[in-house]
Amino acid sequence: MSIKVVKRASIAALFVTVLTAAFLALQAGSGLAPKGVVSPRGPAAQFEWKEILAAFSHPLAVFILQLVIIIAVSQLFAYLFRKMGQPAVIGEMLAGIALGPSLMGAIAPGFSAFIFPAASLGNLQMLAQVGLILFMFLVGMELDMNLVKKKAATAVLISNAGIIVPYGLGIGLAYFMYKDYAPANVPFYAFALFIGIAMSITAFPVLARIIRERGIGSTKLGVIAMTSAAANDVAGWFLLALVIAIAKAGSLGTSLYTLIAAACYALVMFFIVRPLLKKLSQQKTEDRLLKRSTIALVFVVLLLSSYCSEVIGIHALFGAFIAGVCMPAEWSFRKLIIDKIEDVALVMLLPLFFVFTGLRTQIGLLNDPSLWGMCAVIILVAIAGKFGGSAIVARISGESTHTSLSIGALMNTRGLMELVILNIGYDLGILTLQVFTMMVLMALVTTFMTSPIMSLLDRVYKRKPE
């Protein structure tokens, strides 16, 4: 008998001896009870189905199952909508609606409550915010600041038009809605100012994804739209802080603090942090991989920037965007960072944000023709203010008819940033659930129509590569 066979037999005998001893110990101790507890009657090893089933409702198990379902359904909807000529982001938005109470909750309420219990939504929301922060960081890194500087004046005019015109129309619409649709004990000025801000928001992340998927991010049109939307939303968040301060019947000190703090934060990021980060691009890389310490520093800058903007009151998303803009301008350096986080952010984390918002939307609340009629009026006013105002100012600024109409269509994209604003309004008691649902539908319709209008304009004007 060879030495190898003897060694293997010895090891096997050792394993058998240990396992046998363990089994005997478990059998001998099965009748023992903890101190102070009476030993139960009957078989000690009684099979408990409740304990087995409880494992399926464990928070971690539920969370993992949520991730699987969200990723699978989001990818399926994204694939279907790409086949229809729509950007994948539209499919992901509607996937959230399908997984929420509007569809799955109505068809299979028990299954919906098991997959998305109320206690689990807090964790889902936090992870969704992380995904959105990473995406905005990527958007900032891919923005060409040289083109932004060339089109800054046009972008400021368009962004102002994209706020002032829909804001004014929103206040006028609120005058006719207030009597029948405003909550009790909410003053008109609070309701009107909030409807105005809801009409004025452009969904910067969704617009960025549409531009990204159409491949126009580095064109003049893409840069003007991105810059206008960024300026629009920054101003929109400032106005939101002002509206919240007024709605709470407090002083305007909070909004003034937000304005001053945001200005100081931007100066620090662009004139102190950005020059320091330029040294990162001078480090040598091996096999196109950055050192872990460099990656760690990049994430620290990203998270601290998001933290500062969140604390200031202009939302963590803009801190992530500004951190991306402040990264070293060398494209080789930026591409290394992008490649490391792009797939995780876009495939797994970002769809969580769309689905989480869909879980809070209840289309079934619109159960009367008059409600659908008011919803249609809201949609028409929103399109007239955002699309019309942005396109007209872009044309007056010297842009071509094609570019102006395309900018209007892109600025009319509201997406889920609109839902963030609406949730704030609902939490403050300014919006009823019915008005909340109408505004959600308005956000979906205006976002859904962006891609068809862009394709139509490209065919009509036969867009040439820039």
Q: Looking at residue 305, what is its pLDDT?
A: 93
Residue of higher predicted confidence among 308 and 210: 308
pLDDT band (50, 70, 90) for residue 253 = low
Least confident residue range of 92-101, 157-166, 273-282: 273-282
Residue 228: partners with Cβ closer than 8 Å, 6 or more residues away: 154, 155, 158, 159, 162, 202, 390, 407, 411
Q: What is the pLDDT of residue 395?
A: 87
pLDDT category of residue 300 using cuts at 50, 70 and 90: very high
Give the residue, 198 or 237, on which the prediction is more confident.
198
Q: What is the mean pLDDT of the chain?
A: 79
pLDDT, tens only, 51-61:
666 666 777 88
- Residue 287 has a pLDDT of 45
| pLDDT beyond 60 at 174 | yes
Q: Tell me: the pLDDT tens digits for 224-236? A: 887 788 777 667 7
Model pLDDT, residue 44: 46
State the DSSP H helix or E strand holding residue 89, giving kind and residue range, or none if neither. helix 88-99
pLDDT tier at 457 (50, 70, 90 boundaries)? confident
- As a whole-number percent, the residues of the chain with pLDDT over 70 amount to 82
Q: Regarding predicted confidence, which is higher, 37 or 351?
A: 351
User: Largest Cα–Cα distance of the chain, in whole Å?
Assistant: 98
- What is the pLDDT at residue 465? 45
pLDDT of residue 35: 60
| pLDDT (mean) for 20-47 | 62
* DSSP class per residue in 149-216: HHTHHHHHHHHHHHHHHHHHHHHHHHHHHHHHHSPTT--HHHHHHHHHHHHH---HHHHHHHHHHHT-
Res 214 pLDDT > 60:
yes
pLDDT in tens, 418-432: 877 887 788 778 888
Q: Using an 8 Å Cβ cutoff, are 311 and 303 in contact?
A: no
148 has a pLDDT exceeding 70: no
Q: 304 pLDDT band (50/70/90 cuts)?
A: very high
> With bands split at pLDDT 50, 70 and 90, how would you rate the model's confidence at 152?
low
What pLDDT score does 31 carry?
64
Predicted pLDDT at 169: 93
In angstroms, how far is the first alpha carbon of the chain from the final one? 80
Average pLDDT over residues 1-20: 75
What is the signed CA dihedral for 374, 407, 144, 318, rounded to 10 degrees? Answer: -20
How do residues 333-389 score in pLDDT, each as one tens digit? 777 788 788 878 877 887 887 787 777 777 877 888 888 999 999 999 999 999 998
pLDDT-wise least confident of 154-163, 262-271, 297-306 = 154-163
Domain-wise residue ranges, the chain? 97-461
pLDDT of residue 282: 67
177: pLDDT confidence band, cut at 50, 70 and 90? very high
Is pLDDT of 456 > 60? yes
Which of 138-152, 306-320, 451-465 is the most confident on average?
306-320
Partner residues linked to 289 by β-bridges:
286
Indicate whether 449 pLDDT > 60: yes
* Amino acid 168: pLDDT: 92
> How much of the chain exceeds pLDDT 90, in percent?
10
pLDDT-derived band of residue 45, with 50, 70 and 90 as boundaries?
very low
Q: What is the pLDDT of residues 64-90, one digit of tens each?
A: 888 899 889 988 998 888 888 776 777
> Where does 97-461 sit in CATH, by number?
1.20.1530.20
Report CA torsion sign: 180, 183, 185, 189.
negative
Alpha-carbon span 212 to 220, nearest angstrom = 13
pLDDT band at 250 (very low <50, low <70, confident <90, very high): low
Residues 6+ apart with CB under 8 A from 115: 62, 65, 66, 69, 99
